[in-house]
C-alpha cells in the first residue's frame, strides 16, 4: 500500500505512507521514475493542496501560470464523466510519456467540452446559493439528488468558501443510514483535519481519516450538527 495518509486495511501488507504530499508524490519518490514525470507529480500536489518542494521547483522551472493552467485542464477533463475508467487509463498512458495534459487530444477535448458547457461557473453558482457560513466554516449540507455540481464536488465548495473568506470547507451528504463528509483546510495554518476526523469517528461511530489539509468520513446520519460543533470547537 502506497498512500499519503494512514489507512486501515483488513489484510496485512507492506505499507509506505508519507503525509504532506500527494499519493503520486509518494509513489514517484519510491519508484524513482524518469525526471520527465515531475511536472505531473507537481500537478497532483497542486490539486491536493500540498505545497511541496517538488511543486515549488516545477513552478520555478515552467512558471506558476503554466502549472496552474495545465492542472486545471487535467482536472476539468477528469470531471466530465467521473467513472470513465477507460479514459483514465488511456490518458494516464499518454501522460506517462511526460507530456502536458493539453498535449493529449482526449484530455484537451474533454476540457474544452467542460468549458463550453460552463460546468465550472454553474457549479460555483449552485454552491454559492446554498453555502452556509458559520464562523470560519463554509458549510454545504443540503445536498439532494437533483443538486448536481457537474462533477466538481468539493472543489467547487472550496472555491466558493475561499471567496467568502472561510478557513475551512465542509460538505455533508446524507446517504441513507450514513452521511459522507468531506472537509478541506483553506487557511495556510489549519488544524490537522485527518486527525480530527479520526478522533470524531472513533468517539461517535463509523470511520474516516485523511491528511492535515483534507479528510473524509462516514458518520451516522443525524450527527452532522454534532460533527460541525466539534469541528468548530477544534478550530476556534
Interatomic CA distance for residues 205 and 198, integer angstroms: 10
Residue 206: which CATH number? 3.10.310.30
Both 102 and 145 in a single domain?
no
Domain count, the chain: 2
Both 71 and 31 in a single domain?
yes
Residue 143, pLDDT score: 64
Both 110 and 124 in a single domain?
no
Instruction: Using the structure block, give the residue that is written with the C-alpha cell 499519493.
Output: 23
Quick count: other Cβ atoms within 10 Å of Cβ 172? Answer: 22
Both 34 and 138 in a single domain?
no
Q: How far is CA 6 from CA 23, 27, 127, 210, in A?
A: 11, 15, 30, 7
Q: In b/e form, how buried is each residue of 103-117, taking b as 16+ CB within 10 angstroms? A: ebeebbebbeebeee
Pairing of strands 16-17, 2-3: parallel
Residue 232, pLDDT score: 95
Q: How far is CA 216 from CA 13, 29, 81, 154, 207, in A?
A: 23, 25, 22, 11, 9
Compute the average pLDDT of residues 89-107.
93
Both 34 and 133 in a single domain?
no
Answer with the residue of higher pLDDT: 3 or 23: 23
Both 228 and 158 in a single domain?
yes
Q: Which domain holds residue 25?
A: 2-116
Instruction: Tell me which of 116, 145, 177 is where a domain ends.
Output: 116
Compute the average pLDDT of residues 39-44.
89
For residue 19, what pLDDT band results from cuts at 50, 70 and 90?
A: low
Residue 13, pLDDT score: 55
Both 109 and 152 in a single domain?
no
Residue 4, pLDDT above cutoff 90: no
Q: Can you name the residues that pair with 171 across neighbouring β-strands?
A: 140, 182
Interatomic CA distance for residues 55 and 41, integer angstroms: 8
Task: Give every CB contact of residue 89 below 8 A, 6+ residues apart in sequence.
Answer: none
Both 223 and 181 in a single domain?
yes
Instruction: Tell me which of 63, 97, 116 is where a domain ends.
Output: 116
For residue 20, what pLDDT band results from cuts at 50, 70 and 90?
A: low
Residue 9, pLDDT above cutoff 90: no
Residue 12, pLDDT above cutoff 80: no
Both 188 and 93 in a single domain?
no
Both 126 and 112 in a single domain?
no
Residue 115, pLDDT score: 97
Percent of the chain surpassing pLDDT 70: 88
Both 9 and 109 in a single domain?
yes
* Residue range 209-233, pLDDT digits in tens: 888 888 999 999 889 999 999 999 9
Residue 190, pLDDT score: 82
Both 123 and 231 in a single domain?
yes
Instruction: Tell me which of 116, 150, 185 is where a domain ends.
Output: 116
Nearest Cα residue to 158 out of 149, 167, 169, 148:
169
Amino acid at each position: 500500500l502506497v498512500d499519503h495518509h494512514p489507512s486501515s486495511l483488513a489484510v496485512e501488507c507492506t505499507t509506505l505512507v508519507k503525509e504532506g504530499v500527494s499519493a503520486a508524490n509518494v509513489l514517484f519518490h519510491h519508484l524513482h521514475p524518469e525526471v520527465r514525470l515531475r511536472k505531473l507529480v507537481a500537478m497532483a500536489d497542486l490539486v491536493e493542496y500540498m505545497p511541496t518542494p517538488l511543486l515549488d521547483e516545477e513552478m520555478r522551472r515552467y512558471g506558476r501560470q503554466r502549472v496552474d493552467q495545465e492542472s486545471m485542464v487535467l482536472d476539468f477533463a477528469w470531471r466530465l464523466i467521473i467513472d470513465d475508467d477507460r479514459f483514465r487509463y488511456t490518458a494516464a498512458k499518454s501522460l506517462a510519456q511526460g507530456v502536458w495534459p493539453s498535449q493529449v487530444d482526449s484530455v484537451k477535448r474533454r476540457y474544452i467540452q467542460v468549458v463550453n458547457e460552463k460546468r465550472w461557473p454553474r457549479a460555483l453558482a449552485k454552491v454559492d446559493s446554498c453555502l452556509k457560513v458559520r464562523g470560519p466554516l463554509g458549510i454545504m449540507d443540503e445536498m439532494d439528488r437533483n443538486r448536481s455540481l457537474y462533477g466538481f464536488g468539493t472543489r467547487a465548495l472550496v472555491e466558493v468558501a475561499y471567496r467568502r473568506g472561510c478557513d475551512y470547507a465542509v460538505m455533508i451528504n446524507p446517504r441513507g443510514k450514513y452521511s459522507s463528509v468531506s472537509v478541506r483546510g483553506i487557511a495556510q495554518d489549519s488544524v490537522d483535519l485527518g486527525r480530527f476526523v479520526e478522533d470524531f469517528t472513533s468517539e461517535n461511530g463509523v470511520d474516516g481519516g485523511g491528511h492535515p489539509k483534507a479528510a473524509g468520513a462516514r458518520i451516522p446520519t443525524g450527527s452532522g450538527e454534532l460533527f460541525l460543533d466539534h469541528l468548530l470547537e477544534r478550530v476556534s
